[in-house]
Structure 1
Amino acid sequence: MANLLLYVSLFLIWGMLFYHAFLMIGGYLHSLKFEKFKRKLTVPSHGYPTVSVLIPAHNEEVVIEDTIKSMIKLNYPKERLEVIVINDNSSDQTGSIIDKYAEQYPFIKAVHTKPPHAGKGKSGALNQGLANSSGELIIVYDADNTPEPDAVRNLALGLANDDKAGALVGKFRVVNAQKNLLTRLINIETLTFQWLAQAGRWFWFKMTTIPGTNFAIRRSILDRLGGWDEKALSEDTELSIRVYNLGYYIRFFPAAITWEQEPETIGVWWRQRTRWARGNQYVIMKYFLTFYKLKNKKVFLDLFYFLFTYFLFFGGIILSHGIFIVNLIVDLELTIGLVSYALLLIGFLLFVTEVCLALSMESNQLTWKNFFIVLLMYFTYSQLWVFLVVRSSYLEAKRILLGQEVKWYKTQRFKQDTDHKSAV
């Protein structure tokens, strides 16, 4: 029985490794092609589309001023642009900072939410911003983002030149990548995810997941969908499913770049990623069992991926780790022997190859320092994911069984000493 279980666990683990390798090939091919799409972008005959940029902000006094300044520097006609900063029941100086800039710049608009419909999460704040907006296109940035001057222009024109796209997703880079070992690991993870899961899925399946920031979506779609789901902790993933179900695709366009801050302590990282994991589990529970009701069956690819990641692949890792530990105490008479060790070694090498390929697509990222961090990443950072999924699964099961209200954890921000150019 132990041998059979070990074979099953290795099959699940290798299934995920092969799928990621397949996606990474697609990501690499997309990195060679997306500039061709960029060169075709033209301003519509009626002019630039009107754009509303929504920035939800709850107690963001540490970062919100830099974000607003980056909006002022945007290379987009200001008469076609409105920047709506939603002060979501903040108890610090966020509101006064927003008001200061709103008084100086006509295209910047302050929206202040009040209890009881305030401070409950990003989705609620975005819905408040949407209700006060007027743009044909809605673009979202988190309060810690500093998009490059052409980011909004690339998002807007990319969407305006692709009628089949319901949303368009840009690329984000880590502004504090050089802060410490944790931010270096997150930077590598971020780049790998974008070129593997985003670019790879777009190239092979014409599918991409809306992230929490740096994306554009048609206002008409949000109106049809009724805005954001305020019960979803991963409002971006949940919105993606509904956009696909309307018959649109979501394009990945890495020419639109923003810089964002990542957690600098393990505690902040843990709480943020637990929220992400719980949010994805919520999406699985919401849509998987009612998949037959979805009009666009292509959505099943994403739902199955989430199911595989958080249950099957996760189960395979737990199973293999468990067998390894038990075999140290009790002889399970495993016959797979050296084959299992060879598979584990090859799996490790495949992981390193995939990550290094992703880093090679970014300027100055495939360095010897990052290479050694990737080696460390497999045995440390990646293994933390196992414990994180256990924790998030427990919390989400508890919420469902006890009928608890969803509680939003806002990621803590950190004061930055340097600008994003130091992170390149």
Structure 2
Amino acid sequence: MTSLNIVDSLFLYAVASTWFLLLFNVILALNGFMFYLSIDRKKRNYINDTIDFPNISILVPAHNEEKVIEKTVRALYNLSYPKDKLEIIIINDNSTDKTGEILKRLKDKLVDFNLNIITTDKINGGKGKSNALNIGFKQSKGSYIVVYDADNTPEKQSLKYLVCTIISNQKYGAVIGKFRTRNKNKNLLTRFINIETLSFQWMIQAGRWQLFRLCTIPGTNFIIRRNVIQELGGWDSDAITEDTEISFRIYKLGYKICFMPLAVTWEQEPETLKVWFKQRTRWVKGNIYVLNKYFLRIFRHKTKSILFDLYYFISVYFLFLSSVIISDVIFVLGLFTNIKISLSGNYLVIWILAYVLFILEISITLTLEKGESNPQNIMLVSLMYFTYCQLWIIVSIKGIISYLKDILLNKDIKWYKTERF
């Protein structure tokens, strides 16, 4: 086979893979839109204030969170939930800043609030979010466990939406809410992240729930049954994306993970590329760990949810990534060398249609959020393909290399802290 034929074959692979994933995401987006319509019609019926609300333990892992922790605690204090049924556990995990001082002051001031502070040190703490959650869980008493990140400000009714949803169906092992970007107007990066998170939730979470009745737990704003965590033996302390990993094990137990977008929390997103790269690289490393952990057992899993998510992650991190890299390399080679695509056909039209499809699927998800489907955001979506999405290629490659280095060097899991602003 000549080098020219190799180029043609690689190009066809890239085109086919890209279009497959684009069309699949359009299907998810349309199903997410259908789910939104069903939720919007019945949103007044999801909270039943006549029920006997169960005891809830809220876990908040916090490592050097002096910039955001007070706002988070006050948001939890203002939740519309019976305070006698609410236990707040902040795991001050080996912090070296003023996180501990701020928490002590809040505990002294909010006297009618069941605020418990667990402080760890270098010996039992500082080993990652999973370890902090396991420490907090051991001291919790609630029938249900809710997890928020330290930079979260949940809306007042959000906890009730989570609780009323999970108690409505015994098959729900966990229920996840929706997160929004509270610093979206800070700069161009946060505006891109805002669009990305909205797209992810309505396209990947809502679309999959509507189509397949499955979701993946995010790192924050979710509720899980106490007996489920006990049966699982807690969070995997070796997983740096503990949310994805525990989702697979919940599926394996036969439970469902439900999406309740009316339960909203607002969180702070990275405001610089340096912090964004560090956070996203951690996500890639964590998801590669999950793939590696379950891939060898893929054919032994009889749970369709596990199989679907494994295939989906493989598609994102290998199929789509390789397709984008191949198409970019062929484009550059075509500009500076004699290596060209010899296939007949107007491939410029195919590329333009793929680009239009990308804009369409993201734009659909923006219509589901009040004020987000505006000309400025549509223009940003058209720029994302050439800028923000291309950065994901670098992040994915960096994450995979970093994961392999950690295995070769046998590095221990450490707390991967996202810098706050």
TM-score by length of 1: 0.95
Select the residue among 161, 180, 203 that pairs with 1:154: 161
SS at match of 1:129: helix
Q: Which amino acid in the other structure matches residue 200 of structure 1?
A: G
Residues of 2 paired with 1:355 and 1:331: CA distance? 36
**Equivalent position of 1:422 in the other structure:** none
Deviation at 1:37, TM superposition (A): 5.7
Deviation at 1:320, TM superposition (A): 1.4
Q: Is the 8 Å Cα contact of residues 152 and 256 (structure 1) preserved in structure 2? A: yes
| Deviating 4+ runs (over 4 angstroms) | 36-40, 42-46
Q: Which amino acid in the other structure matches residue 113 of structure 1?
A: T
**Equivalent position of 1:302 in the other structure:** 309
Q: Which amino acid in the other structure matches residue 164 of structure 2?
A: L
**Equivalent position of 2:104 in the other structure:** 99
Q: Is the 8 Å Cα contact of residues 17 and 350 (structure 1) preserved in structure 2? A: yes
Residues of 2 paired with 1:106 and 1:9: CA distance? 56
Select the residue among 208, 222, 225 that pairs with 1:201: 208
Q: Which amino acid in the other structure matches residue 156 of structure 2?
A: P
Please list, as runs of the form range in 1=range in 2, the aligned pairs for 1:52-91 lying within 5 A after superposition: 52-91=57-96
Residues of 1 paired with 2:164 and 2:50: CA distance? 12
Deviation at 1:43, TM superposition (A): 4.7
| Deviation readout 1:292-343 (Å, 9 max, x if unpaired) | 3434233110001101111111111111111121222322342335532111
SS at match of 1:171: strand
**Equivalent position of 1:168 in the other structure:** 175
Please list, as runs of the form range in 1=range in 2, the aligned pairs for 1:318-329 lying within 5 A after superposition: 318-329=325-336
CA distance 1:333–1:112, change in 2 (3 Å) = closer
Q: Is the 8 Å Cα contact of residues 77 and 113 (structure 2) preserved in structure 1? A: no
User: Which segments of 5 or more consecutive residues in structure 2 lack a partner in the other structure?
Assistant: none
**Equivalent position of 1:250 in the other structure:** 257
CA distance 1:217–1:396, change in 2 (3 Å) = same
**Equivalent position of 1:400 in the other structure:** 407
**Equivalent position of 2:39 in the other structure:** 34
| Deviation readout 1:364-415 (Å, 9 max, x if unpaired) | 011111111111111100100111111111111111223222333200001x
More displaced stretch, 290-299 vs 82-91: 290-299
C-alpha RMSD of the superposition: 1.5
Residues of 2 paired with 1:113 and 1:144: CA distance? 19
Q: Is the 8 Å Cα contact of residues 181 and 267 (structure 2) preserved in structure 1? A: yes
User: Which segments of 5 or more consecutive residues in structure 1 lack a partner in the other structure?
Assistant: 415-424
Select the residue among 160, 167, 178 that pairs with 2:185: 178
Residues of 1 paired with 2:104 and 2:58: CA distance? 16
**Equivalent position of 2:385 in the other structure:** 378
CA distance 1:38–1:329, change in 2 (3 Å) = same
**Equivalent position of 1:237 in the other structure:** 244
Q: Which amino acid in the other structure matches residue 34 of structure 1?
A: I
Residues of 1 paired with 2:276 and 2:18: CA distance? 25
**Equivalent position of 1:47 in the other structure:** 52
TM-score by length of 2: 0.95
1:21 lines up with 2:26 in the alignment: yes
Residues of 1 paired with 2:240 and 2:68: CA distance? 22
More displaced stretch, 29-38 vs 197-206: 29-38
Deviation at 1:13, TM superposition (A): 1.0
Select the residue among 365, 374, 378 that pairs with 2:372: 365
Identity of aligned residues (%): 44
Residues of 2 paired with 1:275 and 1:394: CA distance? 12
Select the residue among 134, 142, 153 that pairs with 1:135: 142
1:289 lines up with 2:299 in the alignment: no
Q: Is the 8 Å Cα contact of residues 301 and 307 (structure 2) preserved in structure 1? A: no
| Deviation readout 1:280-301 (Å, 9 max, x if unpaired) | 1111000011123434233110
